[in-house]
Structure 1
Amino acid sequence: MLKRIFYFSLLIFLLSLSIIHISPPLLATTPTNLSNTKIDWWLVRAKNHQTPGFNDKLSFKLSDYDAFAVGDTSRPVIYLTFDEGYENGYTSKILDVLKETDTKAMFFVTLPYLNDNPDLIKRMYDEGHLVCNHSNHHKSMPTLTANPENFNAEFTTVSDAYTAITGSPMPHFFRPPMGHYSRCSLAMTQALGYKTIFWSFAYCDWKPEAQPNPSAAKQLMCDNLHNGAIYLLHAVSKTNTEVLGDFINTAKSMGYTFELLPEN
């Protein structure tokens, strides 16, 4: 009888070890002590490949909320990112160029983009790029902080759709739509386990009907290279698609490397 009890207890113990612990999802609540005044992300370009100037009137440090506009500024490294709200027929070619130049990039995607382009998402994932969160509805995040359930859903609906396509969890990087943020929205984003990723280079490339001159665009991209630069490019841009390969090769010839932001 004692043997039976022993073996039964041992079996229960071993079964308990095999159970996978599933942690409940993180939830962001609205901090009542933090300002929710909307702030627009902006920068002032610098000369001679120096780090641009950013908003110097903030009463807090972005890094306190895991928010960043540059990566490792101690060496010549570039972080190439693309925002994807809808497909304009260029992403496949962009992926071709990245593959040809052995370059990895980060794609910030909305839920409609995920739902409409699962094959492209799978290709991004399979080819070693990071597919990151750009929200469900592409709304100004400070407008959502009063309703934590809606705020949280802007993240979880996207990450769940990504996992359904790739079978893997979504990297915890977030780009706030339109660069809108508040101290409150940053804190709530951080509570969900995400890093907020702004940028140190961007230009007017998002209007398909008013595309920049390719030669001028490439020159602007190269002139603003600096250590740790985070480049924001829009994948709907014909110009970006045309000059991407030349830009990457020129940057590499100047001593820059292209990397992904570290997740930890």
Structure 2
Amino acid sequence: MKKLYHLGVLLLSFVCLLMPIYASSLDNTKIDWWLVRSKDHSTPRINEDLKFDLKTYDAYYVGDTSSKVLYLTFDEGYEKGYTPKILDVLKEKDVKAIFFVTSPYVKSNPDLIKRMVDEGHIVANHSNHHPSMPSYTGDPNKFANELNDVAAKYEEIIGKPMVKLFRPPMGHYSEKSLAMTKELGYKTVFWSFAYSDYNVDKQPSHETAKKMILDNLHNGSIMLLHAISKTNTEVLGEVIDQARQMGYTFELFQ
């Protein structure tokens, strides 16, 4: 039995040694995440020129496309004062979401991080400095620290490890950056819906936002909303209600 244990340790060590070598051989050309929206509530098309399968690197942009399920996610780079209201709405509507946070956000908003966790949401990783991750692949330690620093600050506050889900800043990625993210134990979570909600000085109207969101619902949609958006905050409850009237349910992507 002891021999089998030592053999297992040796094999694991060998695999770990090979992983950086494997990632270093991959293409590091920066790719921007983009979608082609459908007009019939079907799954959007993604970049058809990709030379690799996203799932090879545990990267996803949709969940279960066989049923009318939606996955709400919010990106949190800094706090604009709307997250408490967003959490109020999610609690009222009994919807759980993922909040992708940066290191400065975690450090500046420990009480909000605690509330997210206490109310059943997932707090996930959006990097330390919000860089284009392909630009960091040449330095494995620098790359790893972009994720590890966020996770460490989270664990200081919550006392438990952070769930290993990562959203690449700005949607920038490469085959190599996805492989290195996977090597750190993370799933990469892109999105199948996003819209221009992030400019705090040029917010869409309520009607524009609701129409954009509801017209683009589809099975398994991972929805990216920015929590700095006043409009998102104000229409969120109505969007949830109308999505449910259309037959959709909300679940946590994991």
Identify whether the pair has TM-score above 0.5, normalized to the shorter chain. yes
CA distance in 2, matches of 1:120, 1:57: 40
Of 29, 44, 47 in structure 1, the residue corresponding to residue 20 of structure 2 is: 29
* 1:148 to 2:140 alignment: yes
Deviation at 1:253, TM superposition (A): 1.0
* 1:61 to 2:53 alignment: yes
* 1:191 to 2:183 alignment: yes
TM-score of the superposition, structure 1-length normalised?
A: 0.88
Q: Percent sequence identity over matched residues?
A: 63
Of 10, 27, 40 in structure 1, the residue corresponding to residue 32 of structure 2 is: 40
CA distance in 2, matches of 1:167, 1:173: 18
* 1:213 to 2:216 alignment: no
* One-letter identity of the residue aligned with 1:69: Y
CA distance in 1, matches of 2:195, 2:151: 28
Deviation at 1:167, TM superposition (A): 1.1
Q: Which residue of 2 aligns with 1:85?
A: 77
* One-letter identity of the residue aligned with 2:31: I
**Structure 1 segments (4+ residues) deviating >2 Å:** 26-32
CA distance in 2, matches of 1:29, 1:210: 43
* 1:113 to 2:105 alignment: yes
TM-score of the superposition, structure 2-length normalised?
A: 0.92
Q: Which residue of 1 aligns with 2:66?
A: 74
Q: Which residue of 2 aligns with 1:237?
A: 229
1:218-256 Cα distance to aligned partner (Å, 9 max, x none): 111001110000000000000000100000010011111
RMSD: 1.5
Q: Secondary structure of 2:188's match? A: strand
Structure 2, gaps ≥5 residues long: 1-12
* 1:175 to 2:155 alignment: no
Deviation at 1:123, TM superposition (A): 0.1
Tell me whether 130-139 or 164-173 shows the greater mean CA deviation.
Answer: 164-173
Q: Which residue of 1 aligns with 2:239?
A: 247
Structure 1, gaps ≥5 residues long: 1-23
Q: Which residue of 1 aligns with 2:131?
A: 139
Q: How do residues 91-102 of structure 1 correspond to structure 2 at under 5 angstroms? A: 91-102=83-94
* One-letter identity of the residue aligned with 1:117: N
1:170-195 Cα distance to aligned partner (Å, 9 max, x none): 01100000000000000000000000
CA distance in 2, matches of 1:59, 1:94: 39
* One-letter identity of the residue aligned with 1:151: F
Q: Which has the higher helix share?
A: 2
Figure out how many residues of one structure are paired with residues of the other and give that number: 239
CA distance in 2, matches of 1:169, 1:257: 28
Larger radius of gyration: 1
Q: Which residue of 2 aligns with 1:11?
A: none
